[in-house]
Amino acid sequence: MKKPNVAPAPTVSPETKGRRPLISVLLFAALLGVIALLVMQVSWTVGRSEMVWVPGGEFWMGTNDGPLDERPRHKVYLDGFWMDETEVTNKQFAAFVAATKYVTVAERKPDPKEFPGVPEDKLVPGSAVYVTPAADVSLEGPWETGHPPWWKYQPGASWKHPDGPDSSVEGKDDYPVVHIAWEDATAYAKWAGKRLPTEAEWEYAARGGLDRKEFVWGDELKPGGKWMANSWQGQFPRENTAEDGFKGLAPVRQFPANGYGLFDTSGNAWEWCQDWYDSDYYRVSPDRNPPGPTIGRGSRQSPGQPSRVRRGGSFLCADNYCRRYLPAARDDNPPDSGACHTSFRCVRD
Ligand SMILES: [Ca+2]
Ligand SMILES: [Ca+2]
The domains located in the chain, with CATH, are: 53-349 (3.90.1580.10)
Ligand 1 centroid to residue 328 C-alpha, Å: 20
Contact 104, 161 (CB under 8 A): no
pLDDT tens digits, the chain, 349 residues: what are they?
A: 444 444 444 444 444 445 566 777 777 777 777 766 665 554 444 444 599 999 999 999 999 999 999 999 999 999 999 999 999 999 999 999 999 999 999 999 999 998 888 888 889 999 999 999 999 999 999 998 889 999 999 999 999 999 999 999 999 999 999 999 999 999 999 999 999 999 999 999 999 999 999 999 999 999 999 999 999 999 999 999 999 999 999 999 999 999 999 999 999 999 999 999 999 999 999 999 999 999 887 767 677 889 999 999 999 999 999 899 999 999 999 999 999 999 999 999 9
CB 266 within 8 A of CB 216: yes
Note the ligand closest to the C-alpha atom of 176: 2
Q: Measured in angstroms, how far is the CA atom of residue 301 from the centroid of ligand 2?
A: 21
Closest Cα partner for 289 from 197, 182, 196, 195?
A: 197
> What is the CA(323)–ligand 2 centre distance, in A?
13
Which sign does the torsion angle of CA 71, 75, 79, 80 carry?
positive
Ligand 1 centre to CA of 345 (Å) is 20
* Proximal ligand: closest to the CA of 316: 1
Rounded distance, CA 81 to CA 64, Å? 27
Q: Give me ligand 2 centre to Cα 345, in Å.
A: 9
Backbone dihedral region for residue 57 (phi beyond 0: left; psi -120 to 50: alpha; all else: beta): left
* Distance in Å, CA 189 to ligand 2 centroid: 17
Residue 232 alpha carbon to ligand 2 centre in Å = 13
What ligand has the least distance to the C-alpha of 266?
A: 2
Cα(241) to centroid(ligand 2), Å: 20
- Ligand 1 geometric centre to CA of 226 (Å): 13
Residue 116 phi/psi, 5-degree rounding, is: -60, 140
Span from the CA of 254 to the centroid of ligand 2 (angstroms):
12
How many Å apart are CA 30 and CA 135, to the nearest integer?
75
First to last CA, the chain: 64
Taking the centre of ligand 2 as the mean of its atom positions, its distance from the CA of residue 227, in whole angstroms, is 15
Write b or e for each residue in 215-241: b if 16 or more Cβ atoms lie within 10 A of its Cβ, otherwise e: bbbeeeeeeeeebbbbbbeeebbeebe
Ligand nearest to the CA of 248: 1
* Ligand 1 midpoint to CA 216 (Å): 17
pTM for the whole structure = 0.86
Ligand nearest the Cα of residue 202 is: 2
Q: Which ligand places an atom closest to the C-alpha of 317?
A: 1
